[in-house]
Amino acid sequence: MIKNDLFLRALKGETVERPPVWMMRQAGRYLPDFMKLKEKYDFFTRCRTPELAAEITTMPIEQVGTDAAILFSDILVVPQAMNVEIEMKPGVGPFLPNPVRSPLDVNDIIVPDVYEELGYVYDAIKLTKQRLNDEVPLIGFAGSPWTILCYLVQGQGSKNFDKAKEFCFKRPDAAQVLLQKITDTTISYLKGKVKAGVDAIQIFDSWGGLLSPTDYQTYSWKYIQQIIDALKDEIPVIAYGKGCWFALKEMSQSGAAALGVDWTCSAMNARYLSGGQITLQGNFDPSRLYSSPQEIKKMTTQMIDEFGKDRYIANLGHGILPDIPVRNAQAFVDAVKEYKPR
């Protein structure tokens, strides 16, 4: 039995004494102990070494005190398992020497045996669960098929992923084949995470907001829906789409346990658009953690007042930035923990 089950209770929509709190990318670059490991081991070594992944995952629980842990890993381990070469270049981020640009390239993408190719992730989950000792729940995650496609086709990060969109609009049949391969792999991968012991799943659609509402349904949401359908009876699923406020109504009817919201959508609009009956998660602007601790606490309290303490999980609207002072992250977490309904 998990001692602090606040996060899981909020996912079920139960009445809680205060909202739970965690931060996307919480096991990351703002923590000095993380930076020490970063100097010793490259990025994918950290992801592929279960002992390191478990250590990094538990750092924010021990040091900042969030109500849930999220496994240290990366969304790009999935395409790596699908026979795609991906490097993490300093100053560039993800880099693919041979991006997908044709139907022939799509044919080279495999749907792997996830237990064979991604066994290190499942080992990391088991080690992390041991380290957590049932103190807090553990979240597993994956990127949405559209977000993975963006990297596979663009070949690196981008502000608009123009090559990815061009590929979809010029070669829609090939794009749909690729998206389905990613979807099938992701479902198997996440089912493996459930078996290994995670307590919830989050799907990150980081680039969904780059699509029009119509194209979002065609190239992103229908694949996310397949993932939710495959998992929702086994485990709570959180669907997070950055910039996807226009899809909140459909998302709320998907069977997801909760919806992530970014800071460009107000609490009032998020509640209205999602129908008011589903747990929402978010949506503090990560850049606002540059404010003073006093200002952070004040704004965090205001955010909870606006969302309401029930059917709500306090979080950032996207991942924590690398140069945020630890005391500012702590101020955010403390403000949620100290929250008293008015």
**Digit-coded pLDDT (tens) for 43-56:** 999 999 999 999 99
Task: Give residue 141's Cα distance to chain centre.
Answer: 6
What pLDDT sits at residue 342?
77
Per residue in 301-319, pLDDT (tens digit) is 999 999 999 999 999 999 9
Is 171 one of the annotated binding-site residues? no
Catalogue all structural domains in the chain, each as residue range(s) with its CATH number: 6-337 (3.20.20.210)
Query: CA-to-CA distance for 175 and 217, rounded, in angstroms?
Result: 14
Whether the predicted pLDDT of 60 surpasses 90:
yes
Residue corresponding to tokens 């306090």: 314
Ligand-binding annotation for 108, yes or no, is no
Residue 35's region, left for phi above 0, alpha for psi from -120 to 50, else beta, is alpha
β-strand partners of 88: 94
* Axis-axis angle for helices 222-231, 172-196 (nearest 10): 20
Number of helices and strands in the chain (H, E): 17, 9
Do 255 and 232 form a contact (C-beta atoms < 8 A)?
yes
pLDDT band at residue 90 under the 50/70/90 scheme? confident
Pairing mode, strands 93-95 and 87-89: antiparallel
Q: Is 119 part of any known ligand binding site?
A: no
Q: Confidence class of residue 341 from pLDDT cuts 50, 70 and 90?
A: confident
Answer yes or no: is 206 a known binding residue: yes
Amino acid at 289: L
Summarize pLDDT for 62-86 with one digit per residue, the tens: 999 999 999 999 999 999 999 999 9
User: At residue 138, what are phi and psi to the nearest 5 degrees?
Assistant: -115, 130
255 is an annotated ligand-binding site residue: no
Amino acid (1-letter code) at residue 132: L
CA distances from 128 to 93, 137, 162 (A): 26, 10, 38
Torsional class of 90: left (φ above 0), alpha (ψ -120 to 50), beta (otherwise): beta
Is the pLDDT at 243 greater than 80, yes or no?
A: yes
* pLDDT score at 158: 94
> Average per-residue pLDDT in the chain?
97
28 is in an annotated binding site: yes
- Across residues 164-188, what is the average pLDDT? 98
299: pLDDT strictly greater than 90: yes
- How many of the other CB atoms lie within 10 Å of CB of 249? 12
- Is 230 annotated to bind a ligand? Reply is no
Is 209 part of any known ligand binding site? no
User: Does 288 show up as a binding residue in the annotation?
Assistant: no
Segment 109-136 shows an average pLDDT of 98
- The response to whether 192 counts as a known ligand-binding position is no
Amino acid (1-letter code) at residue 105? D
What's the pLDDT at 276? 95
pLDDT score of 92 = 87
